[in-house]
Structure 1
Amino acid sequence: MNWFLELNPVVQALLATLFTWGFTALGAALVFFFKKININVLNGMLGFAAGVMIAASFWSLLAPAIEMSDGSFVPALIGFLAGGVFLLLVDKLLPHLHLGEPRQKAEGIKTSLQRSILLVFAVTLHNIPEGLAVGVAFGATAAGLPSASLAGAIALAIGIGIQNFPEGAAVSIPLRREGLSRRKSFMYGQASGIVEPIAGVLGAALVLVMRPILPYALAFAAGAMIYVVVEELIPEAQQESHTDVATIGAMLGFAVMMTLDVALG
């Protein structure tokens, strides 16, 4: 573990987001064992992912941002809203299709891309703020502030990795059900997480170069994640009649992330 502690924060962010991407691939690999997934299981997975992201947004991002600003809420407020606006723009521009929706309900710029690609792009939207959050958290450790500890950044990476597992399965298994081969379904599923290392490295490098923006960057990642939760995950998880399954999943996800952050951070 000592070797990891001695690495540059950008390299730490890269390794951490490769770890979270790996969990996406592990989840996508379930397609080699299952062709279908029970809708309640899928909704529970999506709810779990939402709970993790909500908890991470506060415990790992917003709370440290406010502490770094000597208790002022202004930098956190500005960064939080900016993160939401950024994801709003990405949501309007990036062609994507939510799980269970017909091809004609694709959002973003109109395109002739295949349905499978549009589904992957939808999950890629989730992963942009996740990778950014992990990257900014590791970059923040260089500031030497108690609220931005390496243990807290590692806890965030573990939490994001855990919730990436069901996300990978939520892409690959529906694609398999639609007729794609197991190999193609897996490749598309894991590809949805490839943006995380990219966003992670950019986030860590940015806060290292421009340290005064650190509280804004942490809150920005939080705002982006909350936007994804409210716009994408919760509506998808609540489509069926048994909404309590998704709600329980969200509670469990929140509890897991809160426990990780408090215990390790």
Structure 2
Amino acid sequence: MTSASITIFGILFAGIATGLGALPLYFKKEFSKKTLDVGLGFSAGVMLVASFISLIIPGIENARSLYQSQHAPLFVLVGIILGYLMIIMIHEFLPHEHLFKKTDMKHDRKISRVTLIVLAISLHNFPEGLAVGVGFGSGDVSQGLGLALAIALQNMPEGLVVGIGLLSEGSTKNRAFMMALLSGLVEPIAAAIGYSATYFSQMALPFTLGFAGGTMLFVICQEMLPEIFRQGHERDATFGVILGVVTMFIIDFYL
């Protein structure tokens, strides 16, 4: 496969993984909250490690190589902060609904909760798609592919959770699956943005890597960790996080 076809495959696979994660809905009717917390913990662990070893640390190394200055890492640090600010602004203005915890924002109640749930998972998927695009845009195909695989793995538990949330709101299995799949398709769009910003301006690579890392850290800290550590399954959720951390290191070292 050429590098272009690998890039396209990686971006699309990461995007459809949310839908693939919802496939178990057809084979099992109910999943325990403990199981879901392990799955979401796994997602959080993968994203946490990926944000550093695939984005922030390579960004710092790239900044030092490009700018030959002890202050070069500041480009990455500024990117982290601006990435956080960008995603928190979207978070504040885009109406969405959490699956388990109470809503943390005001929104128009005329919007159905099903729509709000789909918007929530789409909001979470945007930074992940951005990160995958930046990873491939850096020119390191292996790094981009590893990041795409990691994002795909962590998207699967999220797809199952959003599918279950939609079923609880009265959706059919077919509709829950399709909504989960469609919510993941925001990732290729975000990936195209990240890829273009990095590919056409390699001098901006340290900033874009930090920016993508900052958006992912927001999702982990603001959305995922509070979600999994709130209903008495801390030990199981922590096991999921550790499993995700180990899995991401294996992907980075051996694939």
**What TM-score do the two structures reach when normalised by structure 1?**
0.89
CA distance in 1, matches of 2:172, 2:7: 33
Match of 1:132 in 2: 130
Distance 1:254 1:20 in 2: 18
Partner residue of 1:153 out of 131, 135, 144? 144
Answer yes or no: is the 8 Å Cα contact 1:30–1:173 preserved in 2: no
Q: 1:61-210, aligned counterparts within 5 Å?
A: 61-70=55-64, 72-101=72-101, 105=103, 107=105, 109-141=107-139, 149-210=140-201
For the residues of structure 2 that align with 1:60 and 1:223, how far apart are their CA atoms? 12
- In the aligned structure 1, how far is the partner of 2:201 from the partner of 2:233? 47
SS in 2 for 1:69: helix
From 243, 248, 251, the counterpart of 1:252 = 243
The equivalent position to 1:236 in structure 2, one of 227, 237, 240, is 227
Q: After TM superposition, give the deviation of residue 108 of structure 1 in Å.
A: 5.4
CA contact (8 A) 2:6 2:145 kept: no
Paired residues in the alignment total 249
Change (3 A) 1:184 1:106: farther
Once structures 1 and 2 are overlaid, which stretch shifts more, 170-179 or 39-48? 170-179
CA distance in 2, matches of 1:117, 1:73: 40
Q: 1:222 to 1:108 in 2, by over 3 A?
A: farther
Q: Deviations over 1:176-222 (max 9, x none)?
A: 13321111111111122010000111111111222211110011000
State the partner residue of 1:144: none
Matches within 5 A, 1:21-60: 21-60=15-54
Looking at structure 2, the residues matched to 107 and 13 of structure 1 have their Cα atoms a distance apart, in angstroms, of 36
Cα distance in structure 1, aligned partners of 2:215 and 2:225:
15
**Range that drifts further, 17-26 or 232-241:** 17-26
Contact 1:62 1:222 in 2 (8 A): yes
TM-aligned CA deviation for residue 109 of structure 1: 4.3
Tell me the distance in 1 between the aligned counterparts of 2:127 and 2:15. 13
CA distance in 2, matches of 1:125, 1:90: 8
In 1, Cα distance between equivalents of 2:7 and 2:196: 9
Structure 2: state its 5+ residue gaps.
Answer: 65-69
Rounded to whole Å, the distance in 2 between the matches of 1:109 and 1:97 is: 9
**Matching residue within 205, 220, 227 for 2:211:** 220
The 8 Å contact of residues 14 and 155 in structure 2, kept in 1 or not, is answered as yes
Task: Name the structure 1 match of 2:67.
Answer: none
Find the aligned partners of 2:87 and 2:236 in 1 and give their Cα distance: 27
Query: Structure 1: 5+ residue runs without aligned partners?
Result: 142-148
What CA distance in whole angstroms lies between the structure 1 residues aligned with 2:232 and 2:148?
33
- Is the Cα contact below 8 Å between 1:132 and 1:202 reproduced in 2? yes
Matched residue of 1:192: which SS? helix
The 1:118–1:162 alpha-carbon spacing in structure 2 relative to 1, beyond 3 Å, is: same
Query: For 1:211 and 1:226, how far apart are their aligned partners in 2?
Result: 23
Shift of 1:106: 6.2
User: Is 2:7–2:145's contact at 8 Å kept on the other side of the alignment?
Assistant: no
Which range is displaced more, 64-73 or 80-89?
64-73
3-state SS, counterpart of residue 113 of structure 1: coil
Q: How far off is 1:174 after superposition?
A: 2.4
- Taking only aligned residues, the RMSD between alpha carbons, in angstroms, comes to 1.6
